Structure 1
Amino acid sequence: MNLDYLITFRELVRMGSFSAVAKSLSISQPAVSFQIQKLESDLGTILIDRSQKKLKLTDSGQIVLSFAHTINEEQIRLHAALDRLRNDVAGELQIAASTIPGEFLVPPLLGEFMASHPDITARVDIMDSATVIDSVKYGDYKLGLCGSTPPETDGLSSFKLASDEIVLVAAPGHPLTTKQEVNLSEIVKYSFICREVTSGTRLSLERSLANRNFQLEKLKIRLVLSNTESVVSAVEAGNGIAFVSSIGAKRSLTLGSVKKVNVRGLSVRRDFHCIYYAKDNNSRLIEEFLSFTREKSSSPGWHCR
């Protein structure tokens, strides 16, 4: 039995489609199908109920999935044990991060950390918060940074890395920027720029607006973009107004290319967290980075400097 085929099977269950797995593993979709069929042949059992439109595991598939997770965890333990034999902090630091942490918090953290540890390399992959948590949970990454905390049942640990505020911004000269404060009812007549529906920024905004009995759909959404920098650039270009992360918009706010608009009675705040397994199977590199990140997080506003 090829262990790589077990990894493909585990990823197929996690992602739910052959095409997504093929893209993730940089192989063709027929190659994914072949690996699953070969795994079934080697094990002498059917793992996937192919009579269903959506991916559904057979009873045998559920058992194999459990073993696939166990084998993955044991591989992590093996590598961690070997890493701890080394006296130096070296290797590749792999981090899963949601948009704001990945684009604005991780770079300064890594810059300082890597300056003190010249033998390490780093890779940061951007994804939504739910995928970050799943990626750490299933062992694809040992570290995750996102705007959500994992359920206690997932066996993950976390600590707060930074706090953020979601603010309304407009281009200089926009009618709203002439007022000290505006009501929600005043912004509905202006073109609005928004993040995609799975964005943590958008979800936090929707929750806060719902507490005010205000639905996001009331806004005149003219443009939907997939990252904060694109949203801020669109605001600067005069395409509309937008709620954005104050961390993500810090540079533009400082330069004055966008202006903050205070909305009466609306406060949208959230925290970003560092997520990891607290089990004793982390390499020295991971432990050093966790220690460094904890120390940074204890200094309020470290990311604003």
Structure 2
Amino acid sequence: MDTQHLQAFVAIAESGSFSAAAERLHLTQPAISKRIALLEEQLKSPLFDRIGRQVALTHAGQVLLSKATLILSEVTAAQRAIADLKGEVEGKLSIATSHHVGLHYLPPYLREFSKQFPQVKLDLHFLDSEQAYHEILQGRFDLAIITLALEQDARLQSHNLWHDQLHFVAAPTHPLTAQSYLQLADLSQHPAIMPDTNTYTTQLVSNLFVTQNAALNIGMVSNHLDTIKMLLSIGLGWGILPKRILDNQLTILDVVHEPIMRPLGCIHHKQRSLNNAAKMFLQLLHKENHSITPTASQ
């Protein structure tokens, strides 16, 4: 089977449409359709049911999908292993990162890496940490640099790189800013603006409220911390944000609690061999180099 035909098949299966797959692979839709037609002719079985503009895998397609994903993964691994035998740092480095880490921590490292290894093509994707975690488990990226999960999957290798200290904050005009020695139960009386409840950050905060038998009253949700910062700054609620992005638009609330530290770091799949580019990037992340510091909040 031609790997290009398998790539087209997997792209359609994952995206749910021929047009989305064509865009993903930078091909025309007729080119994608031709590849699938040739693959179906070779296998003598239809792989997709066409339902309007959407497609669904046939039983044969379902059988092929897991095999095709494995084949493509092995082909990529073989190509990378042969290239790495030369000892050169080149090829593509695919990285998934959260918006917060990507905007406030990674820029100096990406800049230094691209300066040292200009022949490497950086393939950067901004995803929620939880989605990036899932993508790494599926073997779709070399590295993910994200908020680390509270419980790590045994299939992943984790590198703890930084700690985000989180603070309870609100607009200077919010009634909570006028009170001292706040308990978590006091915060329960006012709506919070938080990331989605399935995010690692909100799970961390929720666990803290549970230990004090207090209710976490979430009134609004956004997974982008800079969006939460804006909503808080206009007085729509209280929230919890990393110290790095705080400024005079927000006031740190006087809440009695243990420091809340959110671990940030890098993960990769243990069964996916890292190419030279990924190894060098990891080495750069770990490097004790005072000239490379995370981007400060503006």
Number of residue-to-residue matches in the alignment: 289
Which residue identity is paired with 2:126?
A: I
Contact 1:102 1:125 in 2 (8 A): no
Judged with a 3 Å threshold, the aligned counterparts in structure 2 of structure 1 residues 3 and 227 are, in CA distance, closer, same or farther, namely: same
Corresponding residue for residue 291 of structure 1: 283
Contact 1:128 1:198 in 2 (8 A): no
Corresponding residue for residue 243 of structure 1: 240
CA distance in 1, matches of 2:126, 2:283: 22
How far off its partner does 1:126 sit? Answer: 1.3
How far off its partner does 1:125 sit? Answer: 0.8
Which residue identity is paired with 2:113?
A: F
Corresponding residue for residue 153 of structure 2: 151
Output aligned runs, 1:65-144, within 5 Å. 65-86=65-86, 88-144=88-144
| Unmatched 5+ stretches in structure 2 | none
How far off its partner does 1:95 sit? Answer: 0.6
Contact 2:147 2:264 in 1 (8 A): yes
How far off its partner does 1:2 sit? Answer: 4.5
Output aligned runs, 1:1-305, within 5 Å. 1-11=1-11, 17-18=16-17, 22=21, 39-45=39-45, 47=47, 58=59, 60-86=60-86, 88-149=88-149, 150-152=152-154, 154=155, 156-216=156-216, 218-219=217-218, 221=219, 223-244=220-241, 246=242, 249-253=243-247, 256-265=248-257, 268-278=260-270, 281-295=273-287, 303=294
Structure with greater proportional helix content: 1
CA distance in 1, matches of 2:272, 2:201: 33
Contact 2:185 2:214 in 1 (8 A): no
CA distance in 2, matches of 1:268, 1:10: 42
TM-score (norm: length of structure 2)? 0.76
The root-mean-square deviation of aligned C-alpha atoms, in Å, is 3.8
Judged with a 3 Å threshold, the aligned counterparts in structure 2 of structure 1 residues 163 and 86 are, in CA distance, closer, same or farther, namely: same
Contact 2:232 2:250 in 1 (8 A): yes
Contact 1:235 1:258 in 2 (8 A): yes
| Unmatched 5+ stretches in structure 1 | none
Judged with a 3 Å threshold, the aligned counterparts in structure 2 of structure 1 residues 7 and 262 are, in CA distance, closer, same or farther, namely: farther
Which residue identity is paired with 1:195?
A: P
How far off its partner does 1:261 sit? Answer: 1.5
